[in-house]
Amino acid sequence: MEVHWIRGKGLDSNIYLIKGDETTLIDAGTGLHHNYVMHEIKKHVNPRDIKKIILTHEHADHYGGVRKILEEIGKDVEVASHRSAAERLRKGSDVTSLFFGFSPFPLDVGLELADGDRIRAGDDELLVIHTPGHSPGSICLYNEEEKILFSGDTIFQYGSFGRFDLPGGDANALLDSIEKLLSMDVDIIYPGHGEVVLEDGKDHILLAMDNLKAALE
């Protein structure tokens, strides 16, 4: 799987460009660093080759950039998210955008995902894992052959986990979600923020579970 990491600037989420027949972006940042993002994308692909943008969840630091990317490359790009995130994205009611310095706007999500779905990305397939807790519509995406997990804001490097105190957050749901991730064999983790994990990903997930349990005691 050919994955290019576009490191999030400022408060932006990381963006992952998966190159192949079905060139895909995972997440889109806030949109406040649009020129940088397009510059990074163009290092690897013609932006017009992007077929799909999958959003790991409904927060503005991940979806805010979609509108400008679509404007720049045309409308034939499918936007996908978990169905619970899609409902919120269509309403444009996400309050987190205010933290990131812009007003929420409605986003048309054409493809609704559910737990257990398989979705094409690049030349491979990703399994959709519904992981609520950080937000109701959070998903992780897993490639079994290469043991790659795109973890959104559910877990990060070295056992950090997503905050659960935002509207729609739920600590116990987050714990269940992290437990669910432990049933996967994971080497590489591409998280929504911070550094990527290039080996022993499962150790980082275990640590996240221990840390969250300790925080809840």
Q: Which residues contact 40 (CB under 8 A, 6 or more apart)?
A: 4, 6, 15, 17
Q: DSSP assignment, residue 178?
A: H
Regarding 94 and contact with Zn ion (CB under 5 A), the answer is no
As measured in angstroms, the least distance from the Cβ of 153 to Zn ion is 4
As measured in angstroms, the least distance from the Cβ of 62 to Zn ion is 6
The footprint of Zn ion on this chain (CB under 5 A) covers a number of residues equal to 5
Q: Which stretch binds Zn ion (CB under 5 A): 43-51, 58-66, 76-84, 121-129?
A: 58-66
Regarding 153 and contact with Zn ion (CB under 5 A), the answer is yes
Regarding 133 and contact with Zn ion (CB under 5 A), the answer is no
Q: Which stretch binds Zn ion (CB under 5 A): 44-52, 54-62, 73-81, 201-209?
A: 54-62
The rounded distance, in Å, linking the Cα atoms of 158 and 98 is 29
Regarding 61 and contact with Zn ion (CB under 5 A), the answer is yes
Radius of gyration of the chain (CA): 16
The rounded distance, in Å, linking the Cα atoms of 56 and 139 is 5
Instruction: Give the one residue of 19, 33, 34, 59 binding Zn ion; rule: CB under 5 A.
Output: 59
Q: Which residues contact 103 (CB under 8 A, 6 or more apart)?
A: 97
Query: ∠95-98-99 over CA atoms, to 5°?
Result: 105
Query: Can you state the angle between helices 171-181 and 201-216, rounded to 10 degrees?
Result: 160
19 vs 212 by CB, closer to Zn ion? 212
168 vs 192 by CB, closer to Zn ion? 192
47 vs 192 by CB, closer to Zn ion? 192
122 vs 136 by CB, closer to Zn ion? 136
Regarding 192 and contact with Zn ion (CB under 5 A), the answer is yes
59 vs 82 by CB, closer to Zn ion? 59
As measured in angstroms, the least distance from the Cβ of 71 to Zn ion is 22
The rounded distance, in Å, linking the Cα atoms of 126 and 186 is 13
Q: Which stretch binds Zn ion (CB under 5 A): 17-25, 55-63, 66-74, 179-187?
A: 55-63
Beta-strand pair 2-6/139-143:
unpaired
In 3-state terms, what secondary structure has residue 27? coil
Beta-strand pair 124-130/139-143:
antiparallel
As measured in angstroms, the least distance from the Cβ of 8 to Zn ion is 8
The residues binding Zn ion (CB under 5 A) are 13, 59, 61, 153, 192
